[in-house]
């Protein structure tokens, strides 16, 4: 999910870029050598996972999985998502240079938020793992839609109808992402719980 | 999966110092993003077309890359002119088309296509390794450049891993559909991808540490920006800024 070039006003783009730079710097500060390699290779895994298409009736949507990114990487989700989006724009021209900051925030802020909201629920029981995963998936897409709508609305209030249409149009995606993130998280908790960062780092 | 045909061209733009190309692309896209008048947006689009011509890009290559954007613009043209309420130019029953809406759509279309062609001709024409080295020389933090290059490096590897997993699932008779079983299968597949990526990361880190990795990013590329390259930057930057100033002075 991203906003194309040329839509947003200069103010929104500038503010988005400034906040994204700050958040990325914060995320980078937390990364030591070992985590850097880990973050980079997981970022490639997310890039590949986002090429998976699942069917909803006659149409198919691609996975976003920013909920899983948030759960697995915490604050490092900012630089990881920035990197993935930059590579996407180089290879596929999904979004370009000026909207990169705003697009990073749209995807990464909900991802980091669900890390702090849902990570504490994990590891207690298998049902709770699924619920936490479902919440992480749904909320991260919902948050991304809301931020996208807000960015459009701050550009021009006439975009209100478009924003509402985008948010309602994404309700099926929220449910699918919720289910897939739920299954994915319970799978990870069963086979390889060490992949999650040890504790929630609230600093 | 990844089309790298643009990198291999040979043109004036392909030979320019990557730093100059990054700064020029930034300069032009940032000024283009600020414009609000369709005529000025058309000006930026023409600059972008000139750049694409200098880079000797083929029209087909550029159109393929514009495809996602064109879909988005089509959606916007269906939506936006109808949601404005003032200054109606056409009415059919409850359907109304407003002048302001059409104007906004024209401006956004010209501007976004322009920005993307600028991006394609200046940045997509260099290999990611060169882009990384250029960013590094522009003092982008070591860690971020490292992340960019390392992520790029492992996309193809993880992609193979994914192909192996999906092939195994297909051999067991997996057919994707709209049901919980398909979603669960895809979820486990993605989960397995992360597990393997994480294990691979541990091995890669150990191998890198054995070879003396200290977290510093080093680049062996040497680039020199001569006068012509700097002239290119100055001309492009001046064109962008003067278009913007002209808009602010005469068109508002």
Q: How far apart are CA A86 and CA A102, in angstroms?
A: 12
- Residue A139 belongs to domain spanning: 10-195
SS3 B6: helix
Check residue A203 and give its pLDDT.
Answer: 43
Is residue A200 included in any domain, yes or no? no
pLDDT, mean over chain A: 90
**DSSP assignment letter at A98:** T
SS3 A82: helix
Q: Does A10 touch chain B (CB under 8 A)?
A: yes
B82 Cα distance to chain centroid:
30
Is residue A4 included in any domain, yes or no? no
Is residue A3 included in any domain, yes or no? no
Is residue A203 included in any domain, yes or no? no
Q: State yes or no: pLDDT of B94 exceeds 70.
A: no
**Interface size, chain A vs chain B, as Cβ–Cβ contacts under 8 Å:** 230
Give A 148-167 residues with CB within 8 A of chain B: 156, 158, 161-162, 165
How near does any CA of chain B get to the CA of A155, in Å?
A: 12
Closest CA in chain B for residue A94? B68
Nearest to B138 by CA among B22, B7, B15, B24: B22
Is residue A2 included in any domain, yes or no? no
B91 or B17: whose pLDDT is higher? B17
Beta strands A59-62 and B88-92 are: unpaired
Q: What is the mean pLDDT of residues A82-96?
A: 85
Our count of domains for chain A comes to 1
Is residue A5 included in any domain, yes or no? no
Is residue A1 included in any domain, yes or no? no
Q: Does B234 touch chain A (CB under 8 A)?
A: no
Best residue in B25, B66, B67, B151 to probe A by mutation, most A CBs within 10 Å?
Answer: B151
Q: What percent of chain B has pLDDT over 90?
A: 53
User: pLDDT tens, A21-70?
Assistant: 999 999 999 888 888 999 999 999 999 998 888 988 888 888 999 999 99
> Residue A154 maps to which CATH number?
1.10.1760.20
Quote ipTM for the complex: 0.92
Q: Does A34 touch chain B (CB under 8 A)?
A: yes
User: pLDDT tens, B147-174?
Assistant: 999 999 999 999 999 999 999 999 999 9
Is residue A148 included in any domain, yes or no? yes
Flag if B197 and A188 touch (Cβ within 8 Å). no
Q: Does B229 touch chain A (CB under 8 A)?
A: no
SS3 B37: coil
Q: Does A77 touch chain B (CB under 8 A)?
A: no
Q: State yes or no: pLDDT of B101 exceeds 70.
A: yes
Check residue B182 and give its pLDDT.
Answer: 93
B159 or B1: whose pLDDT is higher? B159
């Amino acid at each position: 999910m991203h906003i194309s070039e040329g839509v947003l006003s200069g103010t929104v783009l500038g503010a988005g870029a400034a906040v994204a730079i700050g958040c990325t710097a914060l995320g980078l500060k937390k990364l030591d050598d070992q985590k850097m390699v880990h973050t980079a290779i997981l970022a490639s895994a997310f890039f590949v996972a986002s090429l998976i298409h699942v069917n909803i009736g006659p149409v198919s949507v691609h996975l976003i999985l920013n909920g899983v990114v948030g759960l697995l990487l915490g604050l490092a989700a900012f630089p990881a998502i920035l990197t993935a989006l930059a590579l996407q724009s180089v290879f596929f021209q999904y979004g370009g240079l000026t909207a990169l900051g705003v697009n990073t925030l749209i995807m990464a802020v909900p991802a980091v938020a669900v890390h702090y909201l849902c990570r504490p629920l994990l590891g207690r029981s298998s049902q709770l793992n699924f619920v936490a995963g479902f919440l992480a998936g749904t909320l991260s897409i919902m948050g991304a839609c809301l931020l996208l709508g807000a960015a459009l609305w701050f550009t021009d209030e006439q975009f209100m109808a478009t924003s509402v249409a985008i948010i309602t149009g994404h309700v099926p995606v929220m449910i699918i992402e919720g289910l897939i993130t739920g299954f994915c998280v319970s799978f990870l908790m069963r086979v390889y719980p060490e992949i999650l960062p040890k504790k929630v780092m609230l600093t | 999966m990844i089309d790298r045909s643009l990198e291999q061209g040979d043109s004036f733009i392909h030979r320019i110092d990557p730093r100059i190309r990054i700064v020029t692309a930034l300069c032009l896209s940032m000024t283009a993003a600020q414009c609000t008048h369709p005529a000025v947006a058309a000006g930026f689009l023409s600059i972008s077309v000139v750049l694409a011509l200098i880079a000797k890009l083929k029209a087909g290559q550029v159109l393929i890359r514009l495809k996602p954007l064109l879909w988005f613009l089509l959606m916007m043209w269906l939506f936006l002119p109808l949601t404005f309420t003032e200054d109606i130019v056409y009415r059919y029953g409850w359907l109304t088309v407003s002048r302001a809406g059409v104007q906004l759509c024209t401006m956004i279309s010209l501007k976004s296509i322009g920005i993307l062609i600028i991006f394609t001709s200046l940045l997509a024409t260099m290999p990611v390794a060169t882009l990384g080295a250029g960013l590094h020389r522009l003092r982008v933090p070591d860690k971020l450049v490292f992340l960019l290059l390392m992520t790029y490096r492992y996309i193809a590897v993880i992609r193979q891993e994914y192909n192996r997993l999906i092939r195994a699932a297909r051999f067991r008779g997996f057919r994707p559909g709209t049901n919980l079983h398909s979603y669960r299968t895809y979820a486990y597949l993605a989960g397995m991808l992360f597990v393997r990526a994480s294990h691979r990361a541990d091995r890669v880190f150990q191998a890198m540490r054995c070879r003396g990795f200290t977290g510093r990013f080093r680049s062996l590329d040497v680039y020199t920006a001569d006068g012509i390259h700097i002239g290119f930057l100055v001309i492009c930057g001046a064109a962008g800024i003067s278009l913007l100033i002209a808009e602010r002075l005469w068109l508002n």
